[in-house]
Amino acid sequence: MEVYFDNAATTRVLDQVKDVVVEAMTVDYGNPAAKHRKGMEAEQYIRTARSRIAKTLKVTEKEILFTSGGSESNNTALIGAALANRRAGSHIITTNIEHPSVYNTLAFLEESGFSVTYLAVDRNGHISLEELRETVREDTILVSVMYVNNEVGAVEEPEEISRVIKEKNPRTLFHVDAIQAYGKYSIRPRRQGIDLLSVSGHKIHGPKGVGFLYIRDGVKIKPLIYGGGQQGGMRSGTENVPGVAGLGVAAEEVYRNHEMKVAQMIELKDYMTDCLESLDGVTVNSKRGRESAPQIVSASFAGVRSEVLLHALEDKGIYVSSGSACSSHHPGVSGTLKGIGLPAGLLDSTLRFSFGLFNTKGEIDYCMDVLKELLPVLRKYRPRR
């Protein structure tokens, strides 16, 4: 039996997505910048995808910029906004549990002369709105806070965060990394006061290598890629037509019967939480119900190294993660787990289980049977230090 519980890392594409990607690659394969019919056919895929995505956010089509994925969207938002607004100030605010594509991008900006304040989070992964209010200054040009934490599923309230920011400094831009939130929440950037919003296709059963950045009309940002002037000069280079087409279909599908899909994931999350907490020496770091993201369960297994347990589960056909797959080739202690105050003895004993549209309760039952078999053995033979 194969069980895939690593959907926060990537997802299996929907059949509808696969079909449109193949069609754009093999039938309507023209360059969208070409003036002939083949080019216009390819361009229509981009127009259709942009329209589909804009409708899910209730924004205008011109506010959607296609990128190569979440990391580029975050880089474009942060570097582009910082460079475009440097005359207004050089202070940026973020949290200490951001994704590497935010954290490392801000480290680059610090090296370039910007100053960055990193807000701490509480045990539930939430920032203090009062601390945020005190931190926003006259020269604060940008605040970046992720909507859903990719490791433990902690959820921030962007509308409340934006209100605090704008009351203190209306000129400060608010960027939201929504890579784990898009498709799981009804997101309305204008109502929620979001100026920039990053999304990745392969987290929502779309293709890898494609994403988008919402840029509120009127927000100034500098492009990072120069060339032929595609996408209004904001991102030059021939568009990834098959990827964009697939992303558009995935976005539309993930929001079809949305509440039902979210409720099903919450049911799975709560069921797995109950099962895990019934095991000896297991601590669940995610909240039940709607207090955390519907697709993520983080659990710590006392006395077992996460990498050892991960591969033991893999041998049984169960795929999970020991942290963010986007940074798995850079070993080290998770900044998120440290940030929420997880005891030192559990930092290297934590796994992430994450759900998608294809998971079932039967898969959870199988996983629990395997864990009950593995944990006593792995704890018994744990090397002494």
Q: What are the catalytic residues?
A: 326
Question: For residue 373, how far is the Cα from the chain centroid?
Answer: 33
* Residue 105 to residue 116: CA distance in whole angstroms: 11
Instruction: Report CA dihedral (186, 187, 193, 196) to the nearest 10 degrees.
Output: 170
- The answer to whether 181 touches 45, Cβ cutoff 8 Å, is no
**Strand partners of residue 372:** none
Query: What contacts 243, CB < 8 A, 6 or more positions away?
Result: 21, 201, 207, 209, 210
DSSP-assigned letter for residue 213: E
Amino acid sitting at position 202: H
Give the pair of three-digit tokens for residue 260. 């039902």
Contact assessment for residue 313 and residue 320, using Cβ atoms and an 8 Å cutoff? yes
Question: Tokens at residue 372, please?
Answer: 């009950």
Rounded to whole angstroms, how far apart are CA atoms 238 and 281? Answer: 52
Angstrom distance (rounded) from CA 100 to CA 106: 9
141 Cβ contact partners less than 8 Å away, ≥ 6 residues apart:
81, 82, 85, 86, 88, 89, 90, 91, 92, 171, 172, 173
